[in-house]
Structure 1
Amino acid sequence: MRLEVNGITRTLPCRTAFEARALLGGETAIVILNGFQLDRDRPLADNDVLTVIPKGAMPDREQLESMMLARHTPDIHKKLQKGRVAIAGLGGLGSNIAVMLARTGVGHLLLVDFDIVEPSNLNRQSYYIRHLGMPKTLALQSQLAEINPFISVETRTVRVEADNVAELFAGCEILCEAFDRPEAKAMLVSAALEKLPGVKIVAASGMAGLASANAIRTTRPLERLYLCGDLETEAAVGTGLMAPRVQICAGHQANTVLRLLAGIEEP
């Protein structure tokens, strides 16, 4: 039977998916048939797309891409592979956005931050004790290499200012604003709208405290500007930044990026 197996067209003497699993990966391997993970055996047909994933083993590039295609809609994944996304600020929002985009296979990420990892970051940012004292750019780049070593991750360890926005983010399709301070957010959004024609900006406002997660939403106040958050709750004395709402907002930003790369515009 002629099948596409882990990204390679092969002819196998197998009539069912689990027969192919026994031949290629053993009984504990994960089997994905035409984009659906199987919990029971299914018959195979010519030109089926089969992915067999041995547990605990790192696949090569072609196999990993095949697995990503199996998990995602193939046409969508190909669009994500071509994506060029910049993330300005690698704190609670930016570090989590980067991890989500790497996991979904966005092909090129640019990480920009001037700061180092310090202990108070550990309450909501995607860093570990081993990263303390490291530049956030390099700490995050090392994490992403462990998640998906086959995407391109560039870093710039600099402070973003109004006069370097055009130089830093030229060539990116989408820019994620992920700063903490309102004045820095406003500076970046204003400069990007003025100096980066055609670039879409995904920004955030309002994710502090313990208010309902359902208040966090995605809006589109301008043609090229998407805004995620509850638009109200800023960090202040008695209202801290904590992992759940920060990561929910980061999820909104990452999801908006994926939708834009896939050609889905928010209303």
Structure 2
Amino acid sequence: MARKQVFTKHRSLFDRNVPGTTAVLAKKTVAVAGCGGLGSTAAIALVRAGVGHLIIADFDRVEASNLNRQQYFTGDIGRKKTAALSAHLKKINPSLKIVCVDKMLGPKDIQKLFTKADLMIEAFDRAESKQWLIEAWTQAFPDRPVICGNGLAGIGNTETLRVVKFSDNVYFCGDGKSDMSIGLCSARVAIVANMQANTAISLLVQK
């Protein structure tokens, strides 16, 4: 395929985006901590919107039990989540710049690994992990937003799902109360993940 054809094909990916956003988002870097239901779904939304740089972090491998809500396929089972997700994202936009962090994150990693990120999508499962990430992020990068998932389990009423600005640069997306013990449904998880992505896009474009 000729170079001109490749460029035209790539450019058409974003022809239907909100005018004026593509050029801005192409220069932005978003960190995604956790590549499960929230992280994998939010990452796809961000790439489709035109975000040009991602840093994705997860230590885990894809399991069959992930497939009800996470953006993977049966052929991905056994692969590192970062590798599988990176491959899928590059199929959407081959020009995407992506860094994969294959490790279990801790508070000391945040400043070192995410210095180039304009904002953070928090996509962990455990409440204690969410807490230390928020604390570490706001301490390391007080002027950069962190967008968290908070309450996404179950099915049904979506009117309880909202975006709450907790403090200057901390946002919570979800219902704020549902516990994962009641089960996870792809539709509700995806709504919250896309709320995170939508909030991120809005903040990035405003900067």
Indicate the TM-score class for this superposition, using the shorter chain for normalisation. Answer: over 0.9
Secondary structure of 1:175's partner?
strand
Partner residue, 1:186: 131
Q: CA deviation at 1:153?
A: 1.3
- Counterparts of 1:174 and 1:163 in 2: how far apart (Å)? 17
Q: Percent identity?
A: 36
Q: CA deviation at 1:185?
A: 0.7
Q: 1:64 aligns with which of 2, 7, 10?
A: 10
CA distance in 2, matches of 1:243, 1:95: 12
SS of 2:164's equivalent in the other structure is strand
* Equivalent-residue separation in structure 1 for 2:107 and 2:14 (angstroms): 39
Matched, 1:157 2:102: yes
Alignment pair present for 1:225 and 2:170 = yes
State the alpha-carbon separation in 1 of the partners of residues 147 and 206 from structure 2.
15
Q: In the alignment, which of 20, 27, 30 is matched to residue 82 of structure 1? A: 27
More helix by share: 2
Is 1:258 matched up with 2:204? no
Quote how far apart the aligned CAs of 1:62 are.
4.2
Quick one: which of 64, 70, 81 aligns to 1:119?
A: 64
Compute the TM-score of the two structures, normalised by the length of structure 2. Answer: 0.94
| 1:73 Cα deviation after fit | 3.2
Q: Alignment partner of 2:163: what SS?
A: strand
Paired position in structure 2 for 1:198: 143
Answer 1 or 2: higher relative contact order, Cα 8 Å, separation at least 6: 2
TM-score normalised according to structure 1 size? 0.74
Structure with the greater alpha carbon radius of gyration: 1
Q: Which moved more, 1:149-158 or 1:88-97?
A: 149-158
Q: Distance in 1 between matches of 2:89 and 2:122?
A: 19
Aligned to 1:129: 74
CA deviation digits over 1:132-166, x for unaligned, max 9? 11110000001011111111111110111011111
Which structure 1 residue ranges, 5 or more long, are not aligned?
1-7, 9-58
Give the CA deviation at 1:70: 2.5
Match for 1:243 among 183, 186, 204?
186
Cα RMSD between the aligned structures?
Answer: 1.4
CA contact (8 A) 2:148 2:172 kept: yes
Which residue does 2:53 correspond to in 1? 108
Map of 1:172 onto structure 2: 117
Q: Residue 263 of structure 1 aligns to which amino acid in structure 2?
A: Q
Residues 114, 69 of structure 1: alpha-carbon distance in 2 compared, 3 angstrom cutoff: closer
**Number of aligned positions between the proteins:** 204
How far apart are residue 241 of structure 1 and its match? Answer: 1.2
| Unaligned 5+ runs, structure 2 | none
Moved over 6 A (4+): none
SS in structure 1 at match of 2:98:
strand
